[in-house]
Amino acid sequence: ADIIQTTTEPADIIQTTTEPADIIQTTTEPADIIQTTTEPADIIQTTTEPA
């Protein structure tokens, strides 16, 4: 599935890339911001919790 996951400390950034769907998901703590980018539709979705 070609899943690439990168975790960077101390910002707690988790980025997961799955091919060939080209889905990029980035999670940043503690703000709990979830951003998902899907190609080739170029859809960018950002979800912020708890709001």
> Can you give the residue range of the structural domain that contains 13?
2-47
User: How many domains are there within the chain?
Assistant: 1
**Residue 15 has which token pair?**
């980025």
With b for 16 or more beta-carbon neighbours within 10 A and e for fewer, the 33-49 pattern comes to eeeebeeeeeeeeeeee
Which structure tokens are listed for 41? Answer: 């539709």
Phi-psi region of 21 (alpha: psi -120 to 50; beta: other; left: phi over 0): alpha
* Residue ranges of the chain with per-residue pLDDT less than 50: 1
Supply the pLDDT for residue 1.
47
Question: Would the pTM count as exceeding 0.75?
Answer: no
CB 20 within 8 A of CB 39: no
- Calculate the average pLDDT of the chain: 61
